[in-house]
């Protein structure tokens, strides 16, 4: 979901200190922190960032914002500051001797085939493949599994530097046309075009100003539904607030200005709309959202009636309703209505009152993640302590079989239609690269469809799940992954990663970046914090709004356990996370700077008092609350990373990352945080900001940019954590098919 500034100005530091003292007096002091820094080395000379006399009044509390000018990404002053900061950062990174060896090894590890799970439409199969170092994955099609795949769309041809990404695809039910959306330079803004699948040629259709949208074809293949915003001002399109999304129907061969408005709510600026069409072609379903909360309204329209109206089915924002499929007028949903870990219900549109709902699969001890109607059965994926379990039941909820998985890890996929006898899914773990399986739904037999070969031996590594106790006594799990034979002597460089928000679960997955870290002798740790979805809606809610501090306590608790049990020590412990995870890192390093040797907040939400004033930030108030509410302001200002940097404090070595085209969490968050942190830092630990160009929040980032960013991250940590030298050549591991079993 979801920055950084600073100089050495005594007057501003004193003003900042006065503000901090006032806030502490008003809201209480946090945990004790270290106030001294080692004096070895020479402090970096950071670019001078001017200060402005900007003060805001929040419910009677005055809060200074001296770097407000950095919110204007288009100003010449901001651009000059960015250039100067990037020079400091790149000069620092260039002086790290291990950086090039890391980049070379990352390039070797990244150079392996990667596949998406296939799906079938109109008698054709579709899937994507990256041959290894391609900047973007290529979309292929084939008429049978034994057919030779044919390139349908290669995004690498859309931009020489690979910065145009394929953001989404939807094939017409007859398999004739492909609607595909692209995103440039990492922006959330998408453009939709239509390609003839037989000829590979694009039609005249071009739809713009699409953001956060599905694409849903009508059964006749003559057009599709999509969501868009009004055209923004070109100069400020990456920062302007996004309100009043509208749902349209585009008919193939017509200009966008002829598109038909299907549904909007001019009385509800925060509502968004996702369109779905049922496989039988009869219904349009509209999932209405408000912010990022998993609480939806459901509307539907009978497409068989020319004058059919959009009707409400669920007319409140009280729970999640994820549409699975329909059997005639009966709709199946996975919902957390009266079931925090979710259940499956059947709702008859002819008798939609809740009293008439039928529970097909009741809530269980494990969290229901997704459900798919296939082979006239329900294929249900669950999380058991953040690990995947898959169970098949009939349409009355009677168990059929469990799907045997290759090991402990994560699955995804299981796409298809109600009558399909086959489906595909992916499986991955921290030491098993993503492997694609075909599942015969009639026999339960699985077979490998595509399996990558990566130059490492998975038997050299082990994963264990550890439970620890957070500050308030809550039991929290984390995964610890490292080379076998890990010595518990407190000297292991460790990278602790977390997120803790928006009902998002962190489950085991393979990453060449993390593999490289472990090859370097590092320990990789993932904490499953409150605010996520690992244990359902109650777990999520316990890390939101006035309870957000629980997330930071969980993260700090993980770090304390790792230190107490001699996995690592504060001097060897780094923390990282992106977006909401960047906020997590910022809060942890300001609350407990003594606990960490390094911090890498990536594209983080750092100004918790103003996040809602940019692009889609207003939508995050469902998780964070808003500074416009007095009680929520008191909670926000206590942990807002920007507002809890204290002058004269020894902060860990820090590298903040952001990107110039990030229109999800605008770079001003990182800019202001960096400038403030640089001025506040005592001693010689570096505070750097790495500002990527022609990049956004992370989605669609070219492979080349990913490798460079990770090389900089691990290179930075080799110096910050005083790690041993990295070998310049690849390991002697032979190419290994790391599937985790058949």
- The terminus-to-terminus CA distance of the chain in angstroms comes to 37
Whether the CB-CB separation of 614 and 662 falls below 8 Å is answered with no
697 is catalytic: yes
Q: Which of 141, 145, 170 is nearest to 154 (CA)?
A: 141
**Quick one: CA torsion of 448, 449, 453, 457, rounded to 10 degrees?**
-20
Annotated active-site residue in 250, 612, 661, 697: 697
Annotated active-site residue in 172, 185, 470, 579: 579
Residue 334, strand partner residues = 322, 344
**Quick one: CA torsion of 661, 192, 212, 70, rounded to 10 degrees?**
20
Residues in CB range of 727: below 8 A, 6 or more apart? 101, 105
CA-derived radius of gyration, the chain: 26
Alpha-carbon distances, residue 442 vs 199, 394, 445, 718 (angstroms): 35, 12, 8, 52
579 is catalytic: yes
Longest CA–CA separation in the chain, Å:
77
Classified as helix, coil or strand, 50 is: coil
Query: What is the length of the chain?
Result: 742
Whether the CB-CB separation of 650 and 32 falls below 8 Å is answered with no
- DSSP class of 259: P
Q: Which residues of 604-632 are buried (b: 16+ CB within 10 A; e: fewer)?
A: bbbbbbbbbebbbbbbbbbbbbbbeeeeb
Q: Which of 542, 544, 573, 572 is nearest to 556 (CA)?
A: 573
- DSSP class of 727: P
Whether the CB-CB separation of 426 and 411 falls below 8 Å is answered with yes
Q: Which residues of 234-244 are buried (b: 16+ CB within 10 A; e: fewer)?
A: eeebbbeebee
CA 213 to chain centre: 16
Rounded to 10 deg, the angle between the 703-720 and 76-94 helix axes is: 60
Positions marked active-site:
579, 697
């Amino acid at each position: 979901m979801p920055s950084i500034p600073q100089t050495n100005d005594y007057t501003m530091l004193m003003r900042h200190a006065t503000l901090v003292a006032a806030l502490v007096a008003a809201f209480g002091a946090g945990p004790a922190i270290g106030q001294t820094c080692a004096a070895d080395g020479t402090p970096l000379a950071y670019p001078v960032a001017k200060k402005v006399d900007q003060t805001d009044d929040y419910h009677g509390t005055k809060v200074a914002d001296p770097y407000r000018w950095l919110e204007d990404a288009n100003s010449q002053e901001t651009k000059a500051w960015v250039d100067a900061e990037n020079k400091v950062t790149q000069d620092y990174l260039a002086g790290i001797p291990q950086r090039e060896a890391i980049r070379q090894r990352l390039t070797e590890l990244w150079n392996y085939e990667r596949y998406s799970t296939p799906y079938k439409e109109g008698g054709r199969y579709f899937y994507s493949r990256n041959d290894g170092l391609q900047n973007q994955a290529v979309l292929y099609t084939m008429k049978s599994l034994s057919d030779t795949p044919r390139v349908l769309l290669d995004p690498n041809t859309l931009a020489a530097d690979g910065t145009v990404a394929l953001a989404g695809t939807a094939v017409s039910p007859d398999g004739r046309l492909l609607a595909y959306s692209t995103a440039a330079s990492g922006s959330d803004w998408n453009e939709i075009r239509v390609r003839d699948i037989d000829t590979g040629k694009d039609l005249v259709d071009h739809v713009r100003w699409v953001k956060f949208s599905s694409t849903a074809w009508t059964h006749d293949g003559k057009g599709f539904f999509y969501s868009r915003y009004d055209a923004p001002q070109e100069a400020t399109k990456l920062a302007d607030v996004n309100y009043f999304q509208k749902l349209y129907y585009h008919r193939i061969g017509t200009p966008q200005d002829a598109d038909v408005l299907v549904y909007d709510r001019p009385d509800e600026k925060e509502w968004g709309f996702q369109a779905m069409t049922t496989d039988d072609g009869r219904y349009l379903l509209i999932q209405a959202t408000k912010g990022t909360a998993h609480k939806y309204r459901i509307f539907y329209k009978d497409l068989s009636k020319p004058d059919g109206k959009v009707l409400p089915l669920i007319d409140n924002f009280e729970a999640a309703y994820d549409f699975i499929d329909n059997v005639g007028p009966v709709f199946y949903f996975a919902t957390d209505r009266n079931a925090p870990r979710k259940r499956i219900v059947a709702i008859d549109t002819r008798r939609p009152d809740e009293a008439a709902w039928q529970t097909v699969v009741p809530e269980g001890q494990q969290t229901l993640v997704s459900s798919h109607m296939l082979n006239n059965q329900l294929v249900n994926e669950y999380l058991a302590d953040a690990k995947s379990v898959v169970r098949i039941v009939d349409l009355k909820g009677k168990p059929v079989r469990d799907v045997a998985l290759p090991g402990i890890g994560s699955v995804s996929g299981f796409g298809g239609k109600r009558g399909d006898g086959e489906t595909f899914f992916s499986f991955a773990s921290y030491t098993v690269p993503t492997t694609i399986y075909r599942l015969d739904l009639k026999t339960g037999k699985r077979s490998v469809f595509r399996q990558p070969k990566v130059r490492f031996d998975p038997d050299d590594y082990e994963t264990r799940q550890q439970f620890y106790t957070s500050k308030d006594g809550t039991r929290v799990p984390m995964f610890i992954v490292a080379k076998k034979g890990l010595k518990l002597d407190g000297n292991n460089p460790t990278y602790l990663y977390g997120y803790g928000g928006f009902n998002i679960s962190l489950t085991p997955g393979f990453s060449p970046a993390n593999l490289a870290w472990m090859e370097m002798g590092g320990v990789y740790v993932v904490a499953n914090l409150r605010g996520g979805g690992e244990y359902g809606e109650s777990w999520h809610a316990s890390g939101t709004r006035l309870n957000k501090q629980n997330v930071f306590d969980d993260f700090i608790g993980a770090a304390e356990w790792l230190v107490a049990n001699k996995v690592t020590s504060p001097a060897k412990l780094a923390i990282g996370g992106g977006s909401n995870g960047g906020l997590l890192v910022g809060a942890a390093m300001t609350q407990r700077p003594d606990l960490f040797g390094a911090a890498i907040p990536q594209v983080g939400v750092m100004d918790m008092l103003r996040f809602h004033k940019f692009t889609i930030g207003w939508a995050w108030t469902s998780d964070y609350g808003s500074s416009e509410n007095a009680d929520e302001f008191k909670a926000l200002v206590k942990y807002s990373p920007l507002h809890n940097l204290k002058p004269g404090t020894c902060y860990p070595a820090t590298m903040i990352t952001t990107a110039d085209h990030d229109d999800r969490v605008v770079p001003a968050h990182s800019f202001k945080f960096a400038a403030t942190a640089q001025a506040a830092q005592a001693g010689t630990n570096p505070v750097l900001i790495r500002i990527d160009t022609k990049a956004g929040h992370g989605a669609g980032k070219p492979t080349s940019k990913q490798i460079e960013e990770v090389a900089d991250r691990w290179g930075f940590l080799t110096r910050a954590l005083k790690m041993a030298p990295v070998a310049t050549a690849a390991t002697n591991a032979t190419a290994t098919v790391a599937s985790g079993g058949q």
